[in-house]
Chains A and B, each alone.
Chain A
Amino acid sequence: MGELVKMVVVLSVICGASGFVLSNLKEYTAPLIEMQVLTYEQKPAIERIFAEMENDPVADRRRFEIPGRDMPVTVFPIMKNGKLAAVALEGFGQGYSGDVSIMVGIDPQRDALIGISPAKMQETPGIGSRIAEPKFTDQFAGARFQDARSKADGGKIDAVSGATVSSGAVFQAVSGVLANYGAIKSDILKTWKSGD
């Protein structure tokens, strides 16, 4: 009997101590990890869309609530001459293997896309991964909102042939971003002063 009690107590104490250490460490590292993820995943994608910017969009990011939705939307502002030149939003689409995350750059003056760039994906190398190639992504540059969908869907973008699912993920991500942007556009323009 004594041995049984000892077994329970020792194992409980070890697991309890472990839980205590880990929950404290998790709390301490959470903001650091969020910053690292943004710096190494989102920031390179933003930099691929915008050649020049004078601020750090990751440091200046802001969260916006959409009425009736749980998840806030993170918006990365791109400033030029102290004024808002563009915004970048991240969108997600269901790819061939897991979520595809696409960074979308939007010009708030002209209501048009500036460009897109994949931030994170695990699509098949050589097949689905071609959605990251300029041949596909460059089509989005300058596209008006209603044109930023596949030709089959009434838009002006050619999907990557042989990579229907991966292309579909991009279209899904872009349309998700545009829907979010439409819902918070007035808030964005209130937060940062735009050009002209």
Chain B
Amino acid sequence: MIRMWKEFSKGLWKELPPFRLMLGLCPTLAVTASANDGLGMGAAVIFVLTLSNVLISLVRKIIPQKVRIACYIAIAATLVVVVELLMQAFAYPLYQSLGIFVPLIVVNCIILGRAEAFAGKNPVHLALVDGLGIGIGYMISLTFLGSLREVLGKGTWFGHPVMWDGFEPFGFMVMAPGAFIALGLIVGAMNFLNMRMAKKKAQGALQEMDGCAACGGCAMATKSREL
């Protein structure tokens, strides 16, 4: 139970995909012109990521090592087309505003990254909470970024006016440059908070590398263990 909570909660802050791992940035920047689009994209990713994690974890023992990536992609691609068809059938306006970024979920590095780093090596219940945690973290990030841009760029939140009368919207916030500026500010703020928290614990900033250690694949993890 503790293990499950740990796998779930890591996606909410420590390994928050777009702001901490810097994964899945393409849709993060492109579809967050409004809070609603961010929420919709996040929901689509939760669906695909959770199901792909569960399916991949179920078949992980019969998939031959050499064709595992092809199998992961086939499973993720199927789920993405399912989402695309369902979105067209039941939420067409959302499909219109997300456009090309729905089919592109299949090459979103979060999906393949979680499959390779986690679902392919862990039992189903852990893969499920991992997918849910990372997915929800992604959705919250996108909705937050979308809210920030929508409030500043249009003066509305989920389509409802929230700013005072006479508020002059910063039009560029809903354009492409606004996405980069908002992302930079959020990442900066998160790093600042993390530094503060790490200092309070009186342990160096190295603590942050714990998240990487779970993956075990990259040089950073080995380095943090050595240190």
Contact = CB atoms under 8 A, between A and B. Distances in A.
Given A7-B66, A14-B75, A33 B82 contact: no
Interface of A: 3, 6-7, 10-11, 14-15, 18, 21-22, 25-26, 29, 32-33, 36-37, 39-40
B81 interface: yes
B218 interface: no
Interface residues of B, number: 22
A18 B74 contact: yes
A40 B66 CA distance: 46
8 contacts: A7-B64, A7-B66, A10-B62, A10-B64, A14-B59, A22-B82, A33-B92, A40-B93
B4 to A, nearest CB: 27
A21 B51 CA distance: 14
A14 B71 contact: yes
B63 A10 contact: yes
A40 B92 contact: yes
B71 A18 contact: no
B89 interface: yes
A14 B76 CA distance: 11
A39 B89 CA distance: 11
A11 to B, nearest CB: 5
B167 interface: no
Given A11-B67, A21-B82, A33-B85, 15 more contacts: A3-B64, A7-B64, A7-B67, A10-B62, A10-B71, A11-B70, A14-B59, A15-B74, A18-B74, A22-B82, A29-B88, A32-B90, A36-B90, A36-B92, A40-B93
B64 A6 contact: yes
